[in-house]
Amino acid sequence: MPETSEQTSTRTLGRRSFLGTVGATALGAAVFSERASASYSSYETINIVDAGADNTGGDSITPILDDVLDDNRKIYFPPGEYYIDEGIRFTGFDKLWLIGDDATIVPAPADEFEGEHRIFKLGTHYAPGDWLRIGYFTFDFRAHNTGLRAIQAQVNDCYIHDIDFVGEHDAGTHGPMLVDIVDEDSIGAVDRVRMPDGGAWTKDTEQDGNPDVRWGPTGFIVSPYHSGKLWVRDCVIGGFPDNGLYDSGEDGRVVVRGGRFENSNSANIRLDGHRSTVQDATVVVDHARSRDNNQRGIRLDGGSNCWIENCEIILAEPNGHAITVMPGCTSAKIENTSITLGASDESNDAAIMVSEGCGDVEIEDVHIEMHCPGQAIDIEPGDGDVLVEGCTVTGEASGATGGRNAIRCERDGSRFYSNTVEQPGPSYRRALALVADDCVVSKGSYESTHHPIVDDGNGNVVSKTTARSYDGYDGLKVASGDVDLYWSTVYEGVAGSYDGYGNEFPS
């Protein structure tokens, strides 16, 4: 679930006119889009301290901000601390720059902050800003009962970069950041945003924010109004109660490249939308609070042609899937990715969960090292095609609870090519169970403590495959149904009947 308000906002600010004198300057700042650099030839630069803002952290700068915000303006924040006790709302603008220089924004505690708890609300889905740049700010949440939505940007084009959030978000309000690209033909980017200290569950806060959030904040949310493309690059998001990075819409695209995401509940990265992607990211779960009970790594909620590539997922204290492909996802590819699940007495259910009803899924060149009970790959029923190729599964996982088999397949027509499974764990651990029809297993090696391959379906084919039990059980067990076996090496033979030829059965 996305973070959900318990009450509605009560107040927004109007903009006052700015009475001071500002000077025009040529466009010198580097901007994100070619469209912006080609068309935005001039802007007014305003030094917010020269305009009257206090940079010692004393008086609130909200009245000054309210005055100086206007179209075609670059608001410059010199070094210092800027206290804010009331947010700013500015919509329908053409272009706006907010640029810091060792500038720290210090919000008032939740019970002292006036109105809706957002510092910068820039654009709305019905009156978006056209182009926005925000960079080089620190938001200080270290004081007790602080934390609010620092940036809410619903725009057609943006570049938001080099933003640090320090301290835990512990006011029970919406999370630090929301960004939507409203125009379906536009692209924005969020680079090097860091919020490593995460957020508190609302029940563990004083709950006097406006609005209160039912479960707890999301770190970085992309709402259902997102329709364009958003790059999220080299960001760091710590443990939040209601997802770390959450794309909750289905019309736009989010591309995550690099970064570190850790210890968020529900999912550390949760995406929706056609061609949404996670590349080169690191996901870590090594700490769970008392209310954190399902800290997934990456969750693909919906869309088609979704892609996870070259990621590292380390669940040192696993309590959720490393990767979940949800029923709404019509096609996905997972490749060149490393997944490690630490030791635990409790089952983690599955490292990779291919959910019932999802579409086509390809899992290629993925290494899973699993030391807790449960499946490494769980493939549930559905009409989509599933391919598992060139993957390895290792580790000391037990077969005692949560799934005896490293790979369990319940989807008809699934294919397994050139995989290596080594499962020496206790309690009758197995390598591959086919609880489906018309599957193909070819050119792989499957080794486990108990029967490495168990067939419980009809029309399945095993060819050019090695199967060996470390404890001397039959390499292939045909529990029910039928199987064709060709040109394979099956140690200790086959338990049950089969058809085929060209096989070897060493002891």
Query: Domains in the chain and their CATH numbers?
Result: 16-278+288-293+300-309 (2.160.20)
Encode 459-489: b = buried (16+ Cβ within 10 Å), e = exposed. Answer: ebbbbebbbbbbeebbbbbbeebebebbebe
pLDDT one-digit tens code per residue, 409-425: 999 999 999 999 999 99
What percent of the residues of the chain are helix, what percent strand, and what percent coil, each to the nearest 5? Answer: 5, 45, 50
**Cβ–Cβ under 8 Å, residues 503 and 486:** yes
Helix (H, G, I), strand (E, B) or coil at 311: coil
| Other Cβ atoms within 10 Å of 119 Cβ, number | 22
Residue 34 confidence (pLDDT): 37
- Higher pLDDT residue, 117 or 104? 104
Nearest-angstrom CA–CA distance, 330 and 380: 14
Nearest-angstrom CA–CA distance, 493 and 499: 13
**Cβ–Cβ under 8 Å, residues 488 and 467:** yes
Q: Cα(first)–Cα(last) distance of the chain, in Å? A: 53
- Residue 312, Cα to own-chain centre: how many angstroms? 13
- Residue 157, Cα to own-chain centre: how many angstroms? 22
Torsion of CA 238, 192, 311, 328, to 10 degrees: 70
Cβ neighbours for 39, distance < 8 A, ≥ 6 positions apart: none
pLDDT one-digit tens code per residue, 314-348: 999 999 999 999 999 999 999 999 999 999 988 89
Residue 20 confidence (pLDDT): 31
User: DSSP code of 18?
Assistant: P
Over the chain, what is the mean pLDDT?
92
Among 307, 367, 297, 314, CA closest to 337: 367
- 287, pLDDT greater than 80: yes
Nearest-angstrom CA–CA distance, 135 and 132: 10
Residue 18 confidence (pLDDT): 27
pLDDT one-digit tens code per residue, 358-380: 999 999 999 999 999 999 999 99
- 35, pLDDT greater than 80: no
Cβ neighbours for 453, distance < 8 A, ≥ 6 positions apart: 430, 431, 432, 433, 434, 441, 446, 462, 465, 467, 475, 476, 477
